[in-house]
Structure formats: structure tokens, C-alpha cells
Amino acid sequence: MSFALATGAAARWTGTPAPCAVVCVNGGTAAAVPGTWSASLEWLVGRLAGRFPGLGFLEVRYRMKSWRRLDLCVEDGRAAITAARAAGAEEIALLAFSMGGAVAVRNAGEAGVGVVIGINPWLPPELELEPLVGRRLAIVHGALDAPLPGIPGVKPAMSKSACERARALGVDAERRVVPGAFHAVALRRPSGKLVPILGARRYGELVGEELERFCT
């Protein structure tokens, strides 16, 4: 069941909130449209929650999911981190899909955050990476990811450059590529059923490896 964050955004828990939590932040579009639950993150949470019963996964639904209103999304992400701490989480991982990469980086300096896990993350050159200092950055990117007409996407070269910039700051940063994978991990049918896309299983494996590192 979802609940309201302090900003008016929505969030929902899967698993036990404490003592470790994973805050999941979604992507966005150019248009300023109401937030939705991420099919890609929802599929990953469904796959990972059973593997990590000691983790709480907190998914965020922005008030408005647009990179042109990024500040609002950052506020929603920060409110979710605060909610996770209020629920008892002492260690927090940020699991970020697409535009969520920038949201997570902007919030990486928050108390308790130890790692940002970016799935096909949008990390533009103008994004300051200093909040990652003292944290870990783990990037998983589909080799065939790219923006298409009317369909958001992030070219792998962007995350490669961001990883290099992070390392230059002394950040513990690692980037891994999923062969044959595109931007989405999963899509939602009109019925609500989630359909994994090529490479989804591998995304889950690599995120799982990072969560094992985070939890131990």
C-alpha cells in the first residue's frame, strides 16, 4: 500500500524497512506529466525482495516525472530517504533508473546513503558528482540503450563519461555493460502485468551483486 511523502509524492514499501533500505527512484520524460510507478524498478524489486528478505525496498512515485522539473524529483527522492530513516533504516542504497540517476546523485550526500546503483542512468555532463565522494557508484548500462523518437533512452557513452568523472574525484565507481539490452528492464501491459525485456535477468543479477556488497 502506498503512502504520501512530505512533498506530496507517493511511496510504497516491499519487505522490511530496517535496518537497511533501498530507495528506488524512477526515470522521467521531457513533458511535465504526473508521476507513475516504474515498471523496470517494480520488476527488479519483485525479483530481488525474495532474495534479500532483510532489506526494505521503498519505491517512489514522483509528483511530476520530468527532467525539466528535476528539482521537484530530487525533493521527492530526498523525502523518501527521510521516510526510510524514519522507518528505522540506518544504511541506504539508492537504486536509480534512467533520470533517477541524476536524482540519486543529487541526494547521495544525505545521511545514511552508502551506494548509488544506476540502471541506464541519466548523468549529464553538467551534473555535479561531488555528492558521491565517500560513497560508491555502481552503473549497469544496456549496450543498445539509446533515445528513440518519442521513447526516452540514455546513450551508454554518457554513463561511461560520468564513471570516469567520478573516479577522477576519488569515488569508488564501477560500470558494467549488459550485452544486447536496451533502455527499459520491463514494460507494463494495459492489464498491469509486467513483461521483462531482453537483458532483464542480467540487470537483476548485477544489481543483486551490488546489494550483497551493500548488505555485508
Kindly state the helix (H) or strand (E) to which residue 44 belongs, with its residue range.
Answer: helix 39-48
Would you state the pLDDT for residue 119? 98
Length of the chain, please?
Answer: 216
- Hey, what's the cell of 130? 561531488
Would you state the pLDDT for residue 140? 98
For the chain, which residues make up each domain, given as ranges?
2-215
Say if residues 92 and 56 touch (Cβ distance below 8 Å). no
For the chain, list residues with pLDDT below 50. none
Domain 2-215: give its CATH architecture.
3-Layer(aba) Sandwich (3.40)
